[in-house]
Structure 1
């Protein structure tokens, strides 16, 4: 069928763009690649409008939008800035400071979008570290790794977990019970690896000149109270109702209602390109999954649902096409996911993002924000920490899923 070959060609082109970050010779990023691919499918008639609309998971996009607005509310309240400034300016030993950075980054990312946490905390953290004469590089890498590891603990910690949760209808608190322990152990791994690395403690080596004293961070308490109330509302929605997308939009609407802060300011905190990336990939992967060609091939594909296969595919895919496109692809073309394999996919795809700079959007944000302030974190710098962190974290998660999880599932069924 000619349309099937169009679908396959567009799919390959889009996922090559996901792997490279762009199409060679063009200034088109991953979001543009996904959107152009979806548009080509529509224009050529390979997918009609109704099918494209049906392939977009609007509840997932609604929840992700709400979480972005919620994270933006915390950001404008000054909480992220206050935490980062407090961590970096207090007279603690380097190892204690490292532990606090990891705990703050991981804890916040479990409830808020990890990308926003890294975006907000990195600049102020670097400023305080440089004033103390500390090399900021290991702390920035630790923050990124902790944000990824901490986000693995909950369904709302990162976009891929949200996708998996909505696709499999996973319950919030059983997911926490299944994934929080290995996520906490991964945070311990981050501390051990970073503190033993050659960059830590490095004194003034690689540090930029001390930055001027920042202005005091003002905490907007009414805005913070509103953000905390909205977080509790989101947790209640995930606990009490199955229609998470619709009720989440109600929380977003409540956050946008404000006497002092304009709508554009809060919507400016939303990562619109990421939402468009999701929409485009939903159309492209949905078209492939619905094609006759894929239905014929599915039975011949190797089963990726064993723990070892999920770990290997997650490590390879997260550091090439990215963990969100990988998860979307696997959910689209591989049938028969169980609760156990979905929990494993969440853990392995998230923890694999720490392997290289390109493995996670949070890593890229941290490195780019640091570079803008004169702190250069090279590919090798990150890999020296990211590679052992990832391999050790995956080993811990694999041990948890193969040894403890089966017993836990019998005691407290998921």
Structure 2
């Protein structure tokens, strides 16, 4: 019973998706068509990318990148800008979730070392926004992008048009928010790495993961078939480091699977399918934003994609929808859990500052979306 309670507490969205899938199975009797519901390509790519990124992380690639950039900071403002930029740019490749898992604890460590913990709440909030909005800029930056780009048939140009205007403005807004804070000179900051390695040693260690990442990108851009790449990833990881299999977020994969079942069943019920199509058609941007506030943007993307053909507007909607409430993007919950674990007395302050900045960004970016549409 305790295990089930912990699963419900930590994987609430996955549990809800499971109950929705089970409920829908009572409405549509399971049959052979169920096998056609999931987008196996998206699930396979998510698995591959998560395990490859875990491989890079196991070699300390992202921590070394952080150390390199921090050595060049000369003030509190510059240090804050570096951390926010690091989250914004890293999320384009390693996803918003992994970015926050990597750099939020790193930020907290650095600011404790310089005695500036009072600035942490705002900075962690801005890092969270940076990871969520930076990740929208690439097809592999977050799960909803990977899924929608995979099924939509959008060209790379169409994808860029749907996300880059907002990612660009987001970067400007983030830097403005950092600059608005008070500045102080930064004393010499020494962050020791566990073990210094030469460039050749690092390249040798990460080479298998780098090659696998390139192959996955070729799958994303429809150059290679996903099945051989999936099998190759499984074999190579088994040889290089079997422990990486434990680093995959299997609950996220199950969440996708359960929502595929639910959406597939809803599409087979004419009355519900027609109603949802009427509600979504022509309103993809707003429904994407609003649905994300309640069920988070990944499930919103899966659900709404079954009843819409305007994938560009939906792509914009669910990415902007990651702003707003704490559950609008599951990545935001990662920051909240990491921060409040060390500073439980600051839960209320974190939520207040988080909501203020998220709503401000959502209001400005939604205004931009309405102007561009």
Q: TM-score, normalised by structure 1?
A: 0.76
Secondary structure, aligned partner of 1:237: helix
Q: Distance in 2 between matches of 1:41 and 1:302?
A: 20
Would the alpha carbon gap of residues 116 and 239 (structure 1) be closer, same or farther in structure 2, given more than 3 Å must change?
same
Q: Distance in 2 between matches of 1:181 and 1:40?
A: 40
> Does 2:245 align with 1:267?
yes
**Runs of 5+ unmatched residues, structure 2:** 185-189
Q: CA deviation at 1:162?
A: 1.6
Please report the RMSD computed on the Cα atoms of aligned residues, expressed in angstroms. Answer: 2.9
Report the counterpart of residue 129 of structure 2 in structure 1: 145
Q: How does 1:244-255 map to 2 (within 5 A)?
A: 245-250=226-231, 252-253=233-234, 255=236
> Does 2:104 align with 1:122?
yes
Would the alpha carbon gap of residues 295 and 392 (structure 1) be closer, same or farther in structure 2, given more than 3 Å must change?
closer
Q: Distance in 1 between matches of 2:143 and 2:222?
A: 21
Would the alpha carbon gap of residues 85 and 160 (structure 1) be closer, same or farther in structure 2, given more than 3 Å must change?
same
**Number of matched pairs:** 353
1:142·1:191 contact (CA, 8 Å) conserved in 2? no
Q: CA deviation at 1:188?
A: 1.6
User: 37, 61, 71: which one pairs with 2:20?
Assistant: 37
1:78·1:217 contact (CA, 8 Å) conserved in 2? no
Q: CA deviation at 1:46?
A: 2.6
Q: Distance in 2 between matches of 1:389 and 1:141?
A: 12
Q: How does 1:63-78 map to 2 (within 5 A)?
A: 63-78=45-60
1:78·1:218 contact (CA, 8 Å) conserved in 2? no
Report the counterpart of residue 329 of structure 1 in structure 2: 303
> Does 2:334 align with 1:365?
yes
Would the alpha carbon gap of residues 367 and 271 (structure 1) be closer, same or farther in structure 2, given more than 3 Å must change?
same
> Does 2:262 align with 1:297?
no
Q: CA deviation at 1:108?
A: 1.5
Q: CA deviation at 1:230?
A: 2.6
Would the alpha carbon gap of residues 161 and 354 (structure 1) be closer, same or farther in structure 2, given more than 3 Å must change?
same
Q: CA deviation at 1:172?
A: 3.9
User: 32, 57, 61: which one pairs with 1:79?
Assistant: 61
Report the counterpart of residue 383 of structure 1 in structure 2: 355
Q: Deviations over 1:38-86 (max 9, x none)?
A: 23444x4733142322211111111111111121112112112223445
Q: Deviations over 1:291-333 (max 9, x none)?
A: 122245356x24542xxx333222221111111111111111x
Report the counterpart of residue 12 of structure 1 in structure 2: none
User: 160, 166, 175: which one pairs with 2:159?
Assistant: 175
Report the counterpart of residue 115 of structure 2 in structure 1: 133
Q: Deviations over 1:334-381 (max 9, x none)?
A: 24x1xxx32232123112212232211111101111122337352112
Q: TM-score, normalised by structure 2?
A: 0.84
Secondary structure, aligned partner of 1:353: coil
> Does 2:255 align with 1:277?
yes
Report the counterpart of residue 352 of structure 1 in structure 2: 321
2:285·2:317 contact (CA, 8 Å) conserved in 1? yes
Q: CA deviation at 1:153?
A: 0.9
User: 299, 302, 311: which one pairs with 2:285?
Assistant: 311
Q: CA deviation at 1:272?
A: 0.6
Secondary structure, aligned partner of 1:319: helix
Q: Distance in 1 between matches of 2:229 and 2:95?
A: 15
